Structure 1
Amino acid sequence: MAEQNEMLKIVTPMMEHVCDHLCRFPGEIERKVDLEEVCAGCQMGKYVCDILNTYNRVKQEWIPVAERLPDVPIDTEDEHCPYFNVTFLNGVVNTLQFTSDECTWFDEEGNVYNDVLAWMPLPEKYQESDKGEY
């Protein structure tokens, strides 16, 4: 949810600029009501969000735990806690789960890790393209 709010903070001014400077409809549509209907159906905001989300997935950088922890809903049961790539103070990289209830990193056996230095979301799962290309 926090990421979605941050995305809106970025996308909203971008879309206002696009609408004010690039949209071809204001000059073609005389009635404001008709223009509002066109704007409501515009897919440009979705395209901008998709571009930014793709950039964020490709960009994937380590996030220091001192800076922030993952957004996991409180009261999420351990077996439903999401997985993250983590790096430890000694440089080892592993995949662990995180719970917001206790601000705890743990593995599938329930072992708790306190020396996590940084984390990042897991990449998107692999999907074959529609064209059968890899």
Structure 2
Amino acid sequence: MSSPQPDLVLEFTPKGYKDEDVFSFRDGLAVARKHSIQLSLRRSRFTWLVTVNLHAQWPNGIKKLQRREKVQSFCRRIRFDRIQLLRDTVTELVISSEHDIASNRPLPLRDVCDLDGNKIELCGRWFYVREDPFRHK
């Protein structure tokens, strides 16, 4: 079986993961309100810089390194070939828990299980694309 994105190379930016330090606890889960990770996508001679922002829930005790690894694992499931990325700037992919006017498209995901058997519980899978207002030039 062939990969759905055989010529698309995804690389995470070193030190490109951030999450908010503000957590709330609900039903035994620590919820970081926002996770942000920077990555680059390459296809032949084209490169796109992308910032992915999403919400996720974690069991109590999950350390920042583990959260980063889970967010990276989730990003590998995104079908970036089905998302129109912006050229000549940093694309921000915002994954929202709300299906509203801004986030009106379902996020295209590959159906892949994590190697460790754990899954990310997402608050939503709707998305929109915009130019990253905090992009580094």
Structure with more of its chain in strand, by fraction: 2
Higher relative contact order (CA 8 A, sep 6+): 2
Select the structure of larger CA radius of gyration.
Answer: 1
Instruction: Tell me the TM-score range normalised by the shorter chain.
Output: under 0.3
TM-score for both structures, normalised by structure 2: 0.23
TM-score for both structures, normalised by structure 1: 0.23
